Structure 1
């Protein structure tokens, strides 16, 4: 193949993005089938897969279907028509869903019964259950359920996205003498999908739960007095949940509120229904939602596993508890400010606690010498300690500026509430730039110290969300470096004011300089390799889709650059292809924690350039978002990130999946006589050892 790979691609050089994302979801599903994981964690992985698949259909599949509906010619770099992609998605998704319920019904539920946890379905209801179920139905369910008959006066109802519903076939006449054949029973969202039975109805030491669908089915005739239900089948429709905002909106918050209400009733993209539902009812529902057999999914269990309980208090069925540590340098200081005056501090979540970030803001809120706080917020709920600290700072007279990205997907409503809280406290709230999501993770604190002002900065790869920091792997850098602080200050000015692109000293930022700088660094490694010098690139991101970067990596591989890519989910680059990418390896780590760090390493003829960033290598991050990429210059911190955040993951032989040239992801297995090595567990053990010392 030619050494000059153009930026145009086809399926031989570019893996389809949607199919690659679906493969990631299947790797998550595989965790539910992994007996190395504790039982309840496997159930949790099954729920995560269900949630991931919901979003995949709501956003990615919905987008493809919308393009077809509008007859838009939007050929992806892989050059595969959308019709074929949707067909392949359907094939793979149907197989995955079948595997999902097989794992649930044949493995997880039977194993849970061994621990006294049992789920009662309709056919499992015993005589001793009936009195309690009857009372629960008439007191808790019937008063809030609204059965809807289907006749000329009652057309098919508008059903909310992902809501649980039942289609009921009926015989007989209603109170007005009408023959009714069909009815819809929506399950109110206020009702739990699984209800715990009283202990006295269970064998000693056991916990029994009954599905809401089983209770309603048992008493469905009471919803239709004088008539007889001859069939009862659960179903759920998934709709397009993406939001579309015009570029010329007058008020982003108001426009977003209007769009949120429409999300619940977008175009239908998937229908899930009981596996035993008759064909005539399947066909009827598909017609109502304008769907085809390709979008029909028959399921053997609850149609929404995301609401299935998994919070049982059985420690042996959970991961061994791990409590993140406070870095030693911060443990015995009264003020974080005193530490940062003398040295930078690196936090690697969730192995290091997120508490220092919260403590820094709390100190800043109370400190009379702090004059101003500026922060970007992408996913931080109104109950967040971060938000509470900013509210306190504003009330204490600090100049607080919050750049809130209202359009963080599925957190839009929460972000609007956060914006209102901060505004009421007196903070300046800015919604970023219309047309560009603000995805950078930055805090800037201005503090008076004697006659001078000193700036304290936090830069991160992940969101300011304490919950995420316990589950996602991310890096955060605390520093007072003057050049970095000046760069962060300029980016905030870009976000809040009007003016030309800021010229930065050390940071790269999207949508301005980051993409070009990445191409430059790849090209430099390519040139080093062509000169016969050592050349290496290691990139750890969540996704790699950007065609120009992929082309540049192909050129680097052909020149002899060793390229190691650690990609959590989507990877459109095709590795290990002779003459194209034989020097490129791609692996994905899927385990206890969600891999979220973005780290870029370039050998650079021995000078070792290392950056952390908020940006993945995707077109949206590099061209349609405000992103920050910051250098790691401290030798000790640089060494730590290279070892713990990169090489450590390249050594994993148990939780790592490797992408092959044929698009297949293969789980890496320890070689004969080789010890198992799990990168995340190594980092946990490392912190446990530090605490003991």
Structure 2
């Protein structure tokens, strides 16, 4: 929720184009939906079991109260921005979102005709019951004398209804409330409300067992998906018009008042994505488009890797470089085997097609398809079926620990000859355009042999010793803790040293305690944490030197990078698929690898320096647990700096 506050803040940033501001408000709404449908499960579990949160000492009810307070603060800021932006869009003659009562007679007749032609027959009135599951995004609650009714607004009808005047729109719920006379008169409706129900969708994978065969695992997963349904209500939102308040809705649905939100505007601002799609072709309203660096097609990428490693940063470097790497491997007669981990791919994935083509050519292809990608399970089942039917050996990984690693191995012989790519982001051509990730390609045998061992471990589930790689759940946390201890020891000996971490979340209590212990002795920490951060400042005494930074900008910062500076100028730089969160370190199969080759190591160190210089998109944590911005006349934006440099380069190499 603190992260959402920073996302909403982008709607007030004068340097952000107006449609992008609307998109940030929609992103914040989407993030909150995910929180209430997935993360609130843990809070309700705490309430039910009367457990205390070990990091804060808070009870479940106390956490629920804080959730409500934070969300009200965010919501107020979000809807104030929404109102200002709607006025700005009107003043700039971009579009107008009007209320029904503001429409001209011509427009009213137009939308009435639209209602009768496209909406009226889709509306079904039902008597309210708490047993009913509200599967549609928006609903209407209607009260008559002694009765309560509901109408679900079909999702496929869309929220934005054109009025017949160019660039004028009215919301579908506003239209229904004002023109559905045949319904309101028939049922003698006195009051109406727009409401929305969020359910707990975090059904545990309670069928996991190390002894499950692939067939049993697939059967259990299919059964899980068929049985996964809307569960406990975690949130009710309702529009502010009308006499009823939170207590009424809490009583009506039988939930805590702390889970009911009175919305000061349209319910669910994801509707703003509709405006973004309609007007994004107007270049002055969106971020400037950019063309990512691509691979020089006149060069064979594998021959390049024979001589030099390659280090990419998406989306400044195109994901097509990875696809070129894979396609070249498929077409190379020396290739004997390809192994890859798949977590979330886009629909109609080129990567999947290349793996299918490789298998049909006789290359031994192994794909670890992790089915437990929340809400992508069905897609991943389809991917596994497509691959399996093409002759690909499909693995389903560790039955207990989710495989979240990003590794693609190409073998060209039996003695460690080949290539490996290790990254921080998914093999997804769509998200790679907006997620900032890093990707490391090399033919170095130490990495290749480690990757071979890694895929053997995924196949036979036996722990192995690596030369360079470390994996969770058993190796990564000890590596992090030991490297912090080593940096601390060398700092005390030489007065030199520091630790840098760039992650999406820092919540693991063991890692945080290790940071505290080292900081009390003076070891400097520079931490870039995009999202949740449980570390507090000001607890480590006079020697504390910790800076916590969060970068929120045009692109979603997603890469995980660690830099351990030891005494006498020695240092290690790592990339990883894992955040510093307990679920990543203790309950997933993640990979971290040190970048030991000089060329990519230097590039990565330059990246770190640039991140630490960022002021324009950075928020800094203070001792009160709040984030603030450092206002500078000539500030630096890491993202915009790299985007501007793209015009000087056409190819990756």
Q: TM-score range by the shorter chain?
A: over 0.9
In 2, distance between residues paired with 1:158 and 1:374?
47
Partner of 1:88: 66
1:518 aligned to which of 471, 480, 486:
480
Aligned in 2, Cα 1:375/1:47: closer, same or farther, shift over 3 Å? same
The structure 1 segments of at least 4 consecutive aligned residues displaced by more than 4 Å after TM superposition are: 261-264
Report if the CA contact (8 A) 1:237-1:271 is conserved: yes
Q: Deviations over 1:311-362 (max 9, x none)?
A: 2122101111111112xxx414342111111111011011111111112222
1:555-613 Cα offsets, whole Å, 9 max, x none, are 22222211111111111111244517721111111111111111110112212111111
In structure 1, the residue matched to 2:20 is 41
Matched, 1:59 2:38: yes
Deviations 1:346-404, CA, capped at 9 Å, x for gaps: 11011111111112222233334322211111111331221222222223332221111
Match of 2:110 in 1: 132
Q: Match for 2:541 among 557, 573, 579?
A: 579
Tell me, in whole angstroms, the C-alpha distance in 2 between the residues paired with 1:452 and 1:438: 26
What value does the CA root-mean-square deviation take over the aligned residues?
2.2
Separation (CA, whole Å) in 2 of partners of 1:72 and 1:635: 53
| Pick aligned residue for 2:605 from 610, 627, 642 | 642
Task: Tell me the distance in 2 between the aligned counterparts of 1:303 and 1:76.
Answer: 35
2:646 match: secondary structure = helix
| Change over 3 Å in CA distance of 1:493–1:581 after alignment to 2 | farther
In structure 2, how many angstroms separate the alpha carbons of the residues matched to 1:136 and 1:109? 26
- Residue number among 265, 273, 280 corresponding to 2:230 in the alignment: 265
Aligned to 1:3: none
- State which of 184, 187, 210 in structure 1 corresponds to 2:153: 187
CA contact (8 A) 2:522 2:544 kept: no
* Residue 159 (structure 1) aligns with: 133
Q: How far has the Cα of 1:264 moved from its partner?
A: 4.3
Check conservation: 2:40, 2:234, Cα contact below 8 A.
Answer: yes
- Counterpart position of 1:385: 350
Structure 1 position 689 matched with structure 2 position 648: yes
In the alignment, structure 1 residue 552 sits paired with structure 2 residue 552? no
Aligned to 1:424: 389
Deviation at 1:488, TM superposition (A): 1.0
Question: Is structure 2 residue 96 aligned with structure 1 residue 118?
Answer: yes
Please state if 1:321 is matched with 2:295. Answer: no
Could you say which residue in structure 1 is the equivalent of 2:267?
Answer: 303
Alpha-carbon distance change, 112 to 337 in structure 1, aligned in 2, over 3 angstroms = farther
The answer to whether 1:477 aligns with 2:437 is no
Equivalent residues of 1:164, 1:187 under 8 A apart: yes
**Does 2:204 correspond to 1:244?**
yes
Please say which of residues 554-563 and 478-487 is displaced more in the overlay.
554-563
Q: Secondary structure at the match of 2:457?
A: helix
Note if 1:215 corresponds to 2:175.
yes
Contact 2:574 2:593 in 1 (8 A): yes
What secondary structure sits across from 2:649 in the alignment? helix
Give the counterpart of 1:435 among 362, 379, 400.
400
Per-residue Cα deviation, 1:52-82 (whole angstroms, up to 9, x for no partner): 111111222232012212x242532222222
SS in 1 for 2:532: strand
TM-score of the superposed pair, with normalisation by structure 2: 0.93
Relative distance call for 1:679 and 1:221 in structure 2 (3 A) is same
Q: Which moved more, 1:37-46 or 1:559-568?
A: 559-568
The offset of 1:87, in angstroms, is 0.7
Q: CA–CA distance in 2 between the matches of 1:479 and 1:124?
A: 63
Q: Is the CA contact 1:535–1:560 (under 8 Å) kept in the aligned structure 2?
A: no
Contact 2:18–2:85 under 8 Å retained in 1: no
Does the C-alpha gap of structure 1 residues 580 and 423 become closer, same or farther in structure 2, counting only changes over 3 Å? farther
Structure 1 pair 442–147 and aligned structure 2 pair: CA distance change class (3 A) = same
Contact kept, 8 Å, 1:657 with 1:668, in 2: the verdict is yes
How far, CA to CA, are the matches of 1:47 and 1:477 in structure 2? 33
Unpaired runs of at least 5, structure 1: 1-21, 172-179
**1:261: how far off?**
4.8
Aligned mates of 1:159, 1:221 — CA distance in 2: 26
Following superposition, the deviation at residue 263 of structure 1 comes to 4.7
Segments of 5+ residues of structure 2 without an aligned counterpart are none
For the 8 Å contact 1:245–1:255, the answer to whether it is kept is no
TM-score norm. by structure 1 comes to: 0.88
Aligned residues: 642
**C-alpha offsets along residues 387-425 of structure 1, whole Å, 9 cap, x if unaligned?**
222222223332221111111122222212212221222
> Does the 8 Å contact 1:239/1:264 carry over to 2?
no
Structure-2 separation of matches of 1:253 and 1:300: 45
* Alpha-carbon distance in structure 1 between the residues aligned to 2:32 and 2:589: 28
CA distance in 2, matches of 1:587, 1:235: 37
Q: Deviations over 1:135-173 (max 9, x none)?
A: 3222221222222134xxxx45623456211112246xx
Distance 1:209 1:252 in 2: 49
Q: Deviations over 1:211-236 (max 9, x none)?
A: 11122223322236644433221100
> How much has 1:480 moved relative to structure 2?
0.9
CA distance in 2, matches of 1:453, 1:486: 5
Q: State the alpha-carbon separation in 1 of the partners of residues 89 and 565 from structure 2.
A: 49
Asked if the contact 2:416–2:449 (Cα under 8 Å) also holds between the matched residues in 1, the reply is no
Change (3 A) 1:62 1:277: farther
Q: Which moved further from structure 2: 405-414 or 484-493?
A: 405-414
Distance 1:422 1:581, change over 3 A: farther
Equivalent residue number for residue 503 of structure 2: 541
Match among 648, 651, 657 for residue 613 of structure 2: 651
The CA deviation string for residues 611-632 of structure 1, in whole angstroms up to 9 with x for no partner, is: 1111111111111110111111
SS at structure 1 position matched to 2:592: strand
The 3-state SS of whatever aligns with 1:531 is: helix
Larger mean CA deviation between 380-389 and 283-292 belongs to: 283-292
2:494 is paired with a residue of what secondary structure? coil
1:216-260 CA-to-partner distances (Å, cap 9, x unmatched) read 223322236644433221100111111211223663344334444
CA separation in 2, counterparts of 1:657 and 1:270? 29
Residue number in structure 2 paired with 1:567: 529
Other structure's SS at 1:68 match: helix
After superposition, the C-alpha distances for 1:271-326 in whole angstroms (9 at most, x for unaligned) are: 1001123327x545423432122111111332122233122122101111111112
SS of equivalent to 2:531: strand
Q: Does residue 661 in structure 1 map to residue 620 in structure 2?
A: no
Find out whether 1:403 has 2:384 as its counterpart. Answer: no
Assess if the C-alpha contact under 8 Å between 1:244 and 1:259 holds in 2. Answer: no
